[in-house]
Structure 1
Amino acid sequence: MSGLTPEELEAVEAGLGRAPNALELALFEALWSEHCSYKHTKLLLKRLPTRGPGVVAGPGEGAGAVAWRDGRAVVFKLESHNHPSYVAPFDGAATGLGGILRDVFGMGAEIVGAAGAIFADGATAKASGLLDGVIAGLQAYAAAFGVPVGAVLAVDDPAYAQNPLVNVLAVGVVAVDRLARSAAGEDDLVFVYAGRPTDLDGVRGAAFASAAFGAAAPAVRVPKADPEAGKRLYRATLALIAAGRVRAVQDMGAAGLLSASAEMAAKGGRGATLWLDRVPEAFLPAGEKAITPEAAEAMMLSETQERMLFAVRRGDVPAVLAALASHGVPAAAVGEVRSDGWYVLVAGGRVLADVPVALLVDGVPLHDLRARVPVFG
């Protein structure tokens, strides 16, 4: 059973001119999920003001940036992390903070602070361990990473008894002329995977984010954070950006390697080829050579934490790999930018998926929501 609606599946088949294979279908399910596409709210969000004399970076980047002073900008990200925190309060909150820290330092910013908030029914949240777990997760990740936490706000309201909300905020500062972007808009760029090897954490997590829990939380492997690895990645990322080695960069967050690579290529008006044989992984049996479509799906959709994807000039690859190694960050060249706008996954010399990147990233049918006055009685 496809996770797409009949209308969406028709749009995929029309865009491809054929039915997608199982792996391609999984890619569309992830990037066309509510969590990644905002298909029910994008048209509404587009009505909000996003430009102004102080706006340095707006929608489309990992975080926002506004001009501050002395040629510097404040970079910030505020994000909800509701469903992972509901399922696993400590790990869900910790990964939420780790993810937005990567969004901020992925733009070249030095982290200066973080904060969090939880909206819940106090008695219910306390009894379930949600409140204590979320606060502990935020504080533990921040302490190990070395970032000060300004506050963790707890709002007690019975209205949130069945739908507790968790928000996290990170703030950084960067010189405007060192602000990194995420669009891989040049030919002859190579994708460099940096960070922890891919495991099975959070596979299909982006689609799961839109699911209803019902009376009990479903079984799901919520990603576990590693703040020490995150701190090494942080320092390595800032060093590479400062050295001018990075042409584009994005965190591997929701939908993992898929979203990072496809979105970077699409924003740059390009395509991408990924060599799955070269993706660092920690879940295949020892000595396993053949990458099946199922293993490929796990590689693409895993939400293993503390990972970044860089697009660098081909001639800079050796220096980039050496710099990452010097910071204790594992890395590998895993793909390249294409000029034809196609998104291709290759393993063992076989093409496993071959789709237009624009269709994959921006082709989902959007919902034009209309307000209605309710009728009572």
Structure 2
Amino acid sequence: MGKRAYNFNAGPAALPLEVLERAQAEFVEFQGTGMSIMEMSHRGAVYESVHNEAQERILKLLGQPSGYKTLFLQGGASTQFAMIPMNLLAAGRQAGYVMSGSWASKAAKEAKLIGDVYAAASTEGDKFTRMPAQDEIEIREDAAYVHITSNETIEGVQFAQYPDTGSVPLVADLSSDIFCRPLEIEKFGMIYAGAQKNLGPSGVTVVIAKEELLSAEAKHIPTVFRYSTHLSNNSLYNTPPSFSIYMVNETLRWIEEQGGLEGVEAKNRAKANLLYDTIDNSGGFYSGVAQAGSRSLMNVTFRLGSEELEKAFAKESEQQGFVGLKGHRSVGGLRASIYNAVPHESVAALVDFMGDFAKRNG
């Protein structure tokens, strides 16, 4: 195998090398069955054991919370933008959406097609460079739910502490920071995440929610879009993305081997601190985009003094084996996505490159 790239892609993103190697060893023949897990029936005992094990691992990492269930769905978080209001936002009710960046805005836009939505808070006036504080969020007592985006990949902001919504269910998109740190799931009615940042490859979306929210019968919408359908069928109503779920199970196993969510958080904070310290101590050559209290552990966004310098940085970094450091096309700048599977060595190499680039261009 050749040298691995320094992978800072925003998603699909880096996967743990150990997980890739295990998958490689089992790719052609899985557990003595004479076939790949991709070739076998999703209703057979061998696949179902992997499927169930992945669900169990998720809840185990969350401390075995009572009354919560895990679903494996398809269509990414973008499909959840529609499924959530379709299932949870009844006629005559409202849902509050916290507008914290590009992904929160997309979620709200979809919900508005289905029901009555209000802006529970917005940081657009600050160009989405921070998350709103608790006292900025309007919680309407009769709201069906309040929706947040835990981490905004484009702007590089993350909730340091989740808001308290009282008796109103808190629904959260954790696509880009799920399992990057311990999570008090009891604060939430529902969380959801596309797998392709911290849980595995693209193709499967994980939903973790209170059973009462998932079991509500929404007979006015198509069967496949009802959470109750997937709950009653153990996420096997239709053919699941079996290989992606297998990879999620192996990634969860890897998280356990890192010391669980506490161990993963310690490594993530060490990587983020190294990178933010480099930005802050560059004498102004680099400048962070996100405000200090909202800086993301997963997506470090920064700027240089000019677009020309940023283009030169991106070009030279690619030549040195760094992948994915251009900022999102909608905002420009630079971004290093340092998800769970990005090793500390990759961040250290980036910091060395940043120091050398600043010395040559400062």
TM-score normalised by the shorter chain: which range applies?
A: under 0.3
Q: TM-score, normalised by structure 1?
A: 0.26
